[in-house]
Amino acid sequence: MNKIKTDICVIGGGSGGLSVAAGAVQMGAKVVLIEAGEMGGDCLNYGCVPSKALLSAAKQAHVMRKGGAGIAGVTPQIDYAAAMDHVQGAIDTIAPHDSQERFEGLGCTVIRAFAKFTSPKTVQAGDTEITARRFVISTGSRAFIPPIEGLDGVPYLTNETLWQQRTAPKHLLVLGGGPIGMEMAQAHRRLGCEVTVVDAQAALGRDDPEAAAVVIAALRAEGVTILENAPVVQVSGGAGDITLQLKDGAQIKGTDLLVAVGRVANTDGMDLDKGGVERNRAGVKVDASLRSTNRRVYAIGDAAGGMQFTHVAGYHAGVLIRSMLFGLPAKASHHHIPRATYTDPELAQIGLTEAEARATHGEALTVSRAEVSGNDRAIATGRALGGGFIKVMIVKNRPVGVTIVAADAGELISFWALAFANKLKMGQIAGMVAPYPTLMELNKRAAGAYFTPKLFDNPRVKTAVNLIQRFLP
């Protein structure tokens, strides 16, 4: 048995773990990085990167069909295997940045094996025992497989296995109408597949219902069948012939099945109890500083059981760097963390939705909004249709939530992430000048709309202006 003593042992080579390892080793700490699967984790290999690559390929097909002003649409010649090759190409291009070779070059000891705790101070990975001053669990998450009768007896895809496909599904059944399910439904529909989404509750149910309705309407207009409040009670069939039995007695038939009903933290089999690390239903039980019940052990990203986004794992890494390397008090706060669904149009959110803000703040809440249909750049580029909008939830002159459904909403929400992180007031936000014409003016207009009734519909303001005009030379 090989034995290593180190300052920090990072378990999991995904976004969060790699950020901790790279930051710590370059600042002088001794780091052991353990990864049993693919370097880069879920985001690079099975999640964010491949899904956005496939969405990009699908959008090209959609643009060709749709045409434009003075441009006739044409029928695209779709090569599904080539689209998947594009996905793999994107992964391969990014992979060197997350590779074992790069991290060994930075000075990390990289061990490619599954890690198990053997005591509160040690883990074993393969034939190596690692004793560390601090451990970081960054093992990510995997697709949750619901306990539906018959599901384990039929072939199904998850976000991990989808990218191995080289033949387009004739009729893709998507179990789950969350972000992953809706993104992949639209991508496959645009690539020529028949697609049916089935959700036991409302599609995009975590999001603002008004914004979700815009996305759902867009997908339905493209030919995606979306069945909401339709629980599946049984799955049957085989390869190329799968049947979903709904609770109301209806049957939905398709050739392929994608399961996308949620995620579960990867903490099984790690013998966390031997390490004195408690779990809850969401993942590792952590406090605001991301420390577990064993003060030597932290958990970040999906493993910590909170918001399951790559950028959250990266943010958590920064919190740990401050506390583990410099001994500074650092706590994770998630009020300023945005999220986005990359359908077309995109749907982005930060802070509270309108319903959440009303429940929390009541009559103190003001909602300011701007419509995409009134944005000059959207009009000029043919993206003003579809009912997109931005709305800002405001309490005491500060934004507490922002919802955007529009083209590039994932980009537009970053402006508000900056505002939230720096606790900006609406006056400061409204003072921003955006280049004309840009979609960014939506943010400016929504901020300005907050002050419109205060300025233009206020009798006191009008009286003051009239008086001032009398005395001006």
Residues 211 and 233: beta-carbon distance below 8 Å: no
Tell me if 445 is assigned to some domain. yes
Q: What is the pLDDT of residues 5-40, one digit of tens each?
A: 999 999 999 999 999 999 999 999 999 999 999 999
> Could you tell me if 187 and 278 lie in one domain?
no
> Could you tell me if 183 and 233 lie in one domain?
yes
> Could you tell me if 370 and 290 lie in one domain?
no
> Could you tell me if 115 and 220 lie in one domain?
no
Domain that holds residue 438: 338-456
> Could you tell me if 292 and 414 lie in one domain?
no
Residue spans of beta strands (DSSP E) within 343-388: 346-351, 365-371
> Could you tell me if 120 and 171 lie in one domain?
no
Q: What is the pLDDT of residues 409-427, one digit of tens each?
A: 999 999 999 999 999 999 9
> What is the rounded CA–CA span in Å between residue 66 and residue 46?
30
Residue that finishes a domain, picked among 209, 241, 261? 261
> Could you tell me if 316 and 344 lie in one domain?
no
> Could you tell me if 195 and 288 lie in one domain?
no
Quick one: pLDDT at residue 456? 61
Q: What is the pLDDT of residues 145-172, one digit of tens each?
A: 999 999 999 999 999 999 999 999 999 9
**Domain count across the chain:** 3
> Could you tell me if 195 and 316 lie in one domain?
no
Tell me if 273 is assigned to some domain. yes
CATH classification of the domain holding 315: 3.50.50.60
> Could you tell me if 182 and 231 lie in one domain?
yes
Tell me if 333 is assigned to some domain. no
Above 80 in pLDDT, residue 293?
yes
Residue that finishes a domain, picked among 230, 261, 292? 261
402: left (phi over 0), alpha (psi -120 to 50) or beta: beta
Helix (H) or strand (E) holding 361: helix 354-361
CATH classification of the domain holding 420: 3.30.390.30
Tell me if 53 is assigned to some domain. no
> Could you tell me if 290 and 418 lie in one domain?
no
Q: What is the pLDDT of residues 117-153, one digit of tens each?
A: 999 999 999 999 999 999 999 999 999 999 999 999 9
Tell me if 47 is assigned to some domain. no
**Tokens 């005591």 map to which residue?**
119
Tell me if 57 is assigned to some domain. no
| Beta pairing class for 109-111 and 251-254 | unpaired
Across the chain, mean pLDDT equals 95
Residue that finishes a domain, picked among 243, 261, 279? 261
**What mean pLDDT do residues 350-373 have?**
97
Above 70 in pLDDT, residue 106?
yes
> Could you tell me if 129 and 271 lie in one domain?
yes
Q: By percentage, how much of the chain surpasses pLDDT 90? A: 91
